[in-house]
C-alpha cells in the first residue's frame, strides 16, 4: 500500500509532535512520515516525482519508528527534498520503504523550518482495537 496515511500534529512546549494512524502498523508509519513533511510544508504541494529507498533495523518497534523518521530527516536534509508518498514494509524489526517526493522549491513549497531530529519524547507505537498509532516529538 502506498499513501500519505492518516496523520496529525500534536503540541509540545518548544517543538512539535507527529502522529500517524492506520489499520496496519505500516500505515501508521506512513501517516507519521506525512506529518513530518507537514512540519516543513504542505504535503499536497509536494509532487511524488523522485523515489528514494530507505532501510533500517532496530531491536524494538519504537526505536524502529524513531529510526524511520530520522532516516527521512537525513534524506530530506542531504538531498534537499520533501516527500509526500510512502510505502513501508516491516518484518521482524526491519523496515524497508520507498519515499516519493521532489526537490525543495522555496517559491512553491514555502518551507517553514529545518528538522533537527526525531526524539524519544512522547514516543509511542501501539495498537488499540485494531488501530495502530505511531508518534513522537520532532526537534525543529
Partner 1 sequence: MDLALIEKKSDYLWEIPPTASMHVPARIYASEDLIRAMDGKVYEQLVHVASLPGIVGAAYAMPDAHWGYGFPIGGVAAFDAAAGGVISAGGVGFDISCGVRLLKTGLHKDELLPHKEKFADLLFASIPAGVGSQSALRLSGAQMDAMLRGGARWAVDQGYGLKDDLERIEDHGCIAGAVPEEVSAKARERQRPEMGTLGSGNHYLEVQEISEIYDAPTATLWGLTPGEIVISIHCGSRGLGHQIGSEYLRLMVLEAEKYHIPLPDRELACAPVHSQIGQSYLGALRAASNCALANRQILTHFTRGAFQKLFSRRDLPLLFDVSHNTCKEEEHRIDGEVKNLFVHRKGATRAFGPGHPALPEIYQSSGQPVIIGGSMATGSFVLVGTKEGEGLSWSSACHGAGRAMSRTQSGQTWDGRSLMQELAARGILIRATSSQGVAEEAPGAYKDVTRVAEASDKAGLARKVVRLTPHICVKG
Residues that bind partner 1 (CB under 8 A): 9-16, 40, 59, 63, 66-67, 70, 73-74, 77-78, 80, 104, 106, 110-114, 116-121, 123, 137, 139-140
d(CA 118, CA 89): 20
Residue 21 and residue 132 in contact, taking contact as beta carbons nearer than 8 Å: yes
- Specify whether the CB–CB gap between 104 and 80 falls below 8 A: yes
CA pseudo-torsion sign 44, 105, 39, 97: positive
Element (H, E) at 30: helix 25-40
Nearer CB in complex with partner 1: 27/115: 115
CB of 37 to partner 1, least distance (A): 12
To the nearest whole angstrom, how small is the minimum distance from the Cβ of residue 96 to partner 1? 18
Which of 51/80 has CB closer to partner 1? 80
Q: Which is nearer to partner 1, 3 or 52 (CB)?
A: 52
Amino acid at each position: 500500500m502506498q499513501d500519505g496515511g492518516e496523520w496529525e500534529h500534536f503540541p509540545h512546549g518548544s517543538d512539535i509532535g507527529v502522529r500517524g494512524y492506520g489499520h496496519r502498523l505500516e500505515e501508521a508509519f506512513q501517516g507519521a512520515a506525512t506529518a513530518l513533511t507537514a512540519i516543513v510544508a504542505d504535503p499536497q504541494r509536494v509532487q511524488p516525482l523522485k523515489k528514494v529507498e530507505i532501510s533500517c533495523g532496530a531491536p524494538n518497534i519504537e526505536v524502529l519508528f524513531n529510526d524511520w523518521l530520522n532516516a527521512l530527516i537525513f534524506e530530506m536534509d542531504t538531498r534537499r527534498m520533501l516527500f509526500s508518498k510512502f510505502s513501508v514494509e516491516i518484518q521482524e524489526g526491519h523496515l524497508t520503504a520507498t519515499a516519493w517526493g521532489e526537490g525543495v522549491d522555496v517559491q512553491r513549497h514555502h518551507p517553514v523550518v529545518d528538522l533537527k531530529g526525531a526524539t524519544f519524547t512522547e514516543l509511542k507505537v501501539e495498537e488499540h482495537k485494531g488501530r495502530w498509532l505511531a508518534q513522537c516529538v520532532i526537534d525543529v
